[in-house]
Amino acid sequence: MNDIEIYAKLTSIFQDIFDDEVVLAPETTADDVDQWDSLNHVRLILAVSKAFDVKFSASSIGDLKNVGGLVTLIRDTLNRKG
Q: Following DSSP, what letter does each residue of 34-69 receive, concatenated? A: TT--HHHHHHHHHHHHHHHT----HHHHHT--SHHH
Number of domains, the chain: 1
Q: What is the pLDDT of residues 58-79, one digit of tens each?
A: 999 999 999 999 999 999 999 9
Q: Is residue 32 predicted with pLDDT exceeding 90?
A: yes
| pTM of the complete model | 0.92
Print the domain residue range for 54. Answer: 3-81
CATH code of 11's domain: 1.10.1200.10
How far is it, in rounded angstroms, from Cα 53 to Cα 22?
A: 22
